[in-house]
């Protein structure tokens, strides 16, 4: 029986949509599965912009240098070169496809963010860059007859036969029962894991399911200990941890403590424009020093007209919660934002599991090292999403004439079905989620130690003994992978800070952590590997 589709793409953020378009352009049938609605992803929430060396005063080599500096010695040089060089071409392509980046006098408007040496950040509608890119990509994908979308279809498991990923098991959005979908290969673009933490800037769907499924299926993961906490999320009782973009500080916003004193120059010479990990830990240190639960982002040096025009969404959201960005400092504190680690891939999105490709935040190409440079994430999703799609499609012509594996769509006859005792399973999922998120924030968060990590792992092991449904099981799996990797790395580097090992140790630890099911943690000098290419 033939496959139901040629390729399955999990996720409809920038990486998944770009991969789907590349596959469709190669003549493949593509099915895109999303956990929530089609336009719900981390991409949509990206306010800060997309970094690209396209201005007359910039060049790719400078972008490479800034990326490597932020990455704290762990960026893979080849991956960074691909990111910044290919990024120029793909951003131009986005513009040709109708993406409306902000302009001034007809020219693209570039701004600067922390740790960038040049103005190279493109924005759309001030602070809605991700939403505009998703709009343009969905419009482009919707015009492709070979691309179909299946929304509200949470993927629960990757299907592996004869050592090759050949499909997925997902939860049918209509009958709420598991189904299987078979294809020639799967492109994993399911996003990150920020929602594993109690305080996060991420949407609720960012629970690391793709990483957990890849790990369970046998793929290698890398650098899971490196989690980036954004320094400035809205810290107001009764309000979500809304992201207050790095671009606010890029424009000249300053951080003040509870006494109204500016404090960042005491912690780093770059002050508010230091890399995110430094600003985050500085805020934590200042709150600890002053006994306060928040610090304040001060934009009052700018007029309301400028702030409304430059940051319309941020300005309106603050007003919604009774805060006027133009007239009062805004309470902020750090929140989980991005994970540098993920499913280990080569430069074309191939994972160590044959038939499985990955791109975007779910993947680890080595491009971010230990700490992502601001506004490189959208560029990464765009570049490596396209490369993964192209690599996956490369063998399509040779495969189309052969007999295909596959059993067709079917309801999975598991021991439990999604319709069994939905009240009980819903309550269980909520309880597991709340417990894991609290543990991750308190014991695997910004400041870590052997004691805190060991205690977290002990509790995760206890939770995992229960008979968990797939979503809860995936949550615990990813939490465990992050904590195990953090316990393994006995140094502080980038987004990983150990209070019991507070210094960076290049002699012993300038390596990537590699973790695989039943194989423990090993180290590698590079993320890139010799991928298995089969047709």
Q: Which residues are catalytic?
A: 276
| φ, ψ (nearest 5 deg) of residue 364 | -130, 105
**Which residue is listed with tokens 């319709």?**
419
* Beta-bridge partners for 185: 7
Nearest CA-CA partner of 223 in 519, 514, 526, 479 = 514
Nearest CA-CA partner of 134 in 10, 312, 13 = 13
Q: Which helix (H) or strand (E) holds 21?
A: helix 14-25
Nearest CA-CA partner of 351 in 486, 190, 502, 529 = 529
Instruction: Using alpha carbons, list the distances in angstroms from residue 343 to 234, 302, 457.
Output: 30, 42, 21
Give the pair of three-digit tokens for residue 159.
């299907």
**Which residue is listed with tokens 């615990």?**
476
Instruction: Using alpha carbons, list the distances in angstroms from residue 457 to 146, 384, 462, 465, 487.
Output: 45, 33, 9, 13, 9
**Which residue is listed with tokens 């570039």?**
110
Crossing angle of helices 470-488 and 422-443, rounded to 10°: 10
Separation between Cα atoms, residue 457 and residue 488, nearest integer Å: 12
CB 386 within 8 A of CB 360: no
296 SS3 class: strand
Residues contacting 316, CB < 8 A, separation 6+:
none
240-279 per-residue burial string, b: 16 or more CB within 10 A, e: under 16: ebbbbbbbbbbbebbbbbeeeeebbeebeeebbbbbbbbb
Q: Are strands 178-182 and 164-171 parallel, antiparallel or unpaired?
A: antiparallel
Separation between Cα atoms, residue 58 and residue 62, nearest integer Å: 7
Rg from Cα positions in the chain: 22
Rounded to the nearest 10 degrees, how much is the dihedral formed by the CA atoms of 149, 151, 153, 159?
A: 20
Instruction: Using alpha carbons, list the distances in angstroms from residue 20 to 27, 29, 87, 138, 380.
Output: 11, 9, 18, 10, 16
């Amino acid at each position: 029986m033939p496959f139901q589709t040629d390729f399955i793409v999990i996720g409809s953020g920038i990486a998944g949509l770009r991969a789907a378009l590349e596959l469709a352009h190669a003549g493949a049938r593509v099915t895109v599965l999303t956990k929530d609605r089609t336009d719900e992803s981390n991409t949509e929430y990206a306010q800060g912009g997309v970094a690209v060396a396209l201005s007359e005063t910039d060049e790719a080599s400078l972008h490479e240098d800034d990326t490597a500096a932020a990455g704290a010695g762990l960026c893979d040089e080849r991956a960074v070169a691909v990111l910044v060089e290919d990024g120029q071409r793909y951003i131009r392509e986005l513009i040709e496809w109708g993406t409306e980046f902000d302009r001034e006098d007809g020219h693209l408007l570039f701004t600067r963010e922390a740790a960038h040496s040049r103005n190279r950040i493109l924005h759309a509608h001030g602070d809605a860059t991700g939403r505009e890119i998703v709009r343009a990509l969905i419009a482009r994908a919707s015009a492709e007859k070979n691309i179909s979308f299946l929304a509200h279809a949470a993927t629960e498991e990757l299907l592996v036969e004869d050592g090759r990923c050949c499909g997925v098991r997902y939860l049918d959005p209509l009958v709420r029962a598991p189904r299987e979908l078979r294809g020639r290969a799967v492109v994993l673009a399911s996003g990150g894991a920020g929602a594993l933490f109690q305080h996060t800037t991420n949407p609720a769907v960012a629970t690391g399911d793709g990483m957990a499924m890849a790990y369970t299926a046998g793929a290698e993961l890398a650098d899971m200990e490196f989690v980036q906490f954004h320094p400035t999320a809205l810290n107001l009782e009764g309000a979500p941890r809304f992201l207050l973009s790095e671009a606010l500080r890029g424009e000249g916003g300053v951080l003040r403590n509870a006494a109204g004193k500016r404090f960042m120059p005491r912690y780093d010479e770059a002050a508010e424009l230091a890399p995110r990990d430094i600003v985050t830990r500085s805020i934590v240190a200042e709150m600890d020093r002053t006994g306060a639960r928040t610090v304040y982002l001060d934009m009052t040096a700018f007029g309301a007209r400028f702030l409304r025009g430059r940051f319309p969404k941020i300005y309106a959201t603050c007003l919604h919660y009774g805060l006027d960005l133009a007239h009062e400092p805004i309470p902020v504190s750090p929140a989980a934002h991005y994970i540098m680690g993920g499913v280990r891939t080569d430069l074309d999105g191939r994972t160590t599991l044959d038939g499985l490709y990955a791109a975007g935040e779910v993947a680890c190409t080595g491009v971010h090292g230990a700490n992502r440079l601001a506004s490189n994430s959208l560029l990464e999703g765009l570049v490596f999403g396209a490369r993964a799609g192209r690599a996956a499609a490369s063998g399509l012509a040779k495969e189309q004439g052969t007999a295909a594996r596959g059993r067709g769509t079917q309801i999975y006859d598991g021991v439990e079905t999604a319709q069994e005792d939905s009240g009980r399973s819903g309550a269980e999922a909520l309880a597991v989620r709340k417990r894991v998120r609290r543990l991750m924030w308190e014991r695997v968060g910004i400041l870590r130690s052997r004691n805190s990590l060991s205690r977290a792992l002990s509790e995760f092991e206890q939770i995992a003994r229960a008979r968990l449904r797939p979503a809860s099981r995936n949550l615990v799996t990813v939490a465990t992978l992050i904590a195990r990797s953090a316990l393994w790395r006995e140094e502080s580097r980038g987004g990983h800070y150990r209070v019991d090992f507070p210094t960076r140790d290049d002699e012993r630890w300038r390596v990537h952590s590699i973790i695989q099911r039943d194989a423990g943690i090993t180290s590698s000098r590079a993320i890139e590997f010799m991928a298995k290419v089969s047709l």
